[in-house]
A = this chain, B = another copy of it.
Amino acid sequence: MSSLCPLEYRYGSAEMRRLFTREEMLRRMILVEAALMKGLEKAGLAPRDCWRSIMICGRSIRPEDIDRAEEKTGHDVGALTMLLAERCGKCGGYVHLGATSNDIIDTAWSLVLRDALRIIEEKLVDLMRTLIGMSEKYMDLIMVGRTHGQHALPITLGFKLAVYVYEYARSLERLMSLEDRLIRGKISGAVGTMAAWGNKGFEVEAEAMRMLGLKPHAISTQIAPRDSFAELVAAAAILASQLERMAIEVRELSRPEIGELSEKPRGTMGSSTMPHKSNPVLSERVTSLARLIRSFLTASLENIALWHERDLSNSANERIIIPHTLVVLDEMLESSRRILGGLRVYPEAMQRNLNLTKGLILSEALMIKLVGKGVPRHQAYKHIQAIAGKASERKIDFLEACLNDPLISSMLTRSEIEGILRPENYLGMYEKLAKRAISYANLTLKQYEGEHSLDS
């Protein structure tokens, strides 16, 4: 039967999708069984070097074997332990001893998610670096700033991009911060008391954690606490929404009436029927997938309030939510990288749009100048609003309207007014602010590198 889920063939990078295949998940579960065995050995509860046997005999087990065995056991971890027991000779008798399924599952999730988070973080870091470079490149490229979809004041493209840099840095912080809560091992048995290992529980746990390179949860029930899974999906949903924000920028600024940006033409059909179209399809994809990740958060939060020492109601949906969230976020980062990589910038369109309101966007600048000359702000505001209204009605330049105004022309010379109405004179601290944002991000990047420098 051909596949029904588009994640199988359409979205996400190969490296990320591979991580969440049944095969890879199985590899990690076997690794956790081996680490548990190593812990048992250390505590004197299993024969020496059985953990190596597990590693070796585990290699032959495939997802299909699990499916067949699950028909007998009704339980996938049960199936795995049965197969290991059957295939690992004498050591088989000690497999999974005193453990519960979620010791294996949740610790395997931590291993997979550690890798998945790294992929996400690396791509986010990469995106931030690209944006920092672009921000510096376009630092002085003036364009109109828009609020409510209306023209507000001039900014520069570099300034705009620096805002994204700051926003993404905050997401990187969140991802780094949640790691300590999420990526932890859980080897504590059926209700979390480690009962089966008597007073040797901490030894079993410590050795298993050492082998896997994980910290343990301080305490747990049958499962690891689900708050950090929700925290992961929340951080993913926030990042996804930030990526959507940039994607919407591209979609809007590539409208033909605006024309300031466009996704790289890819020599492909824009439409199956309209030969002339060049649609911002990657940015639209990012928008679409953001909705999906936001959605998963709902279920993820509902999974927190499990009954007592756990009920199973997190299980079935997590099998879907966790891979889908990570693969979809990965796709979004990939698409965002491609968007930025191919982005075309049209300075002449920016210039044209900047002048579209015939100088009106500089009205605040003039108001400020009047206040500097002693006109109360509120009066200045009203006075200029009136001039702006007239200029707009008569479709004349704001400059002309100002020159015709007795009050303005009594206080300022033509060349003063001209200077005030030049966009490049009303950019404030744009460069210093952009640099402050980039410094902030660089600090975060440095911290990220510091934490992961010894990894590879």
Contacts and interface: CB of A to CB of B under 8 A. Distances in A.
Given A8-B8, A75-B269, A295-B298, 6 more contacts: A85-B378, A94-B377, A147-B222, A155-B193, A194-B428, A289-B316
Nearest to A277: B150
A422 B358 CA distance: 32
How many copies of this chain are found per oligomer?
A: 4
15 contacts: A5-B7, A11-B316, A74-B281, A81-B378, A93-B375, A146-B308, A154-B191, A160-B308, A201-B428, A227-B238, A230-B234, A257-B353, A291-B303, A292-B320, A294-B302
A98 interface: yes
B288 A317 contact: yes
Nearest to A423: B195
A327 to B, nearest CB: 7
A196 B288 contact: no
Contact of A306 (B2, B245, B375): B245
Contact of A276 (B73, B78, B357): B357
A384 interface: yes
Interface residue SS majority, chain A: helix
A69 to B, nearest CB: 11
Given A93-B371, A218-B440, A433 B377 contact: no
A299 interface: yes
A145 B2 CA distance: 37
A410 interface: no
A384 B275 contact: yes
A318 B6 CA distance: 10
Contacts of A159: 192-193, 219
Contact of A227 (B242, B280, B317, B429): B242
Interface in A60-107: 63, 67, 72-75, 77-78, 81-82, 85-86, 92-101
Interface string A218-260: 1111100101101100100110011011001101101111100
A51 interface: no
A233 to B, nearest CB: 9
A53 interface: no
B277 A305 contact: no
A208 interface: no
A385 interface: yes
Given A199-B429, A251-B149, A312-B148, A238 B242 contact: no
Given A149-B255, A152-B309, A433 B194 contact: yes
5 smallest beta-carbon distances between A and B, as pairs? A74-B268, A93-B376, A145-B191, A195-B428, A275-B385
A189 interface: yes
A434 to B, nearest CB: 7
Contacts of A225: 163, 166-167, 170
B284 A311 contact: yes
Interface string A160-172: 1011001100110
A304 B244 contact: yes
Contacts of A426: 195
Query: Max chain B CB contacts within 10 Å: which of A22, A220, A276, A311?
Result: A276
Contact of A294 (B252, B301, B306, B384): B301
B190 A145 contact: yes
Contact of A147 (B241, B248, B271, B382): B271
A291 B271 contact: no
Most buried by B among A188, A274, A319: A274
B146 A309 contact: yes
A170 B95 CA distance: 33
Contact of A279 (B274, B312, B371): B312
B67 A9 contact: yes
Contacts of A379: 93
Interface centre among A1, A314, A353, A375 (most CB of B within 10 A): A1
Contacts of A409: none
Contacts of A17: 1, 4
A276 B151 CA distance: 9
Given A190-B152, A238-B230, A245-B304, A315 B257 contact: no
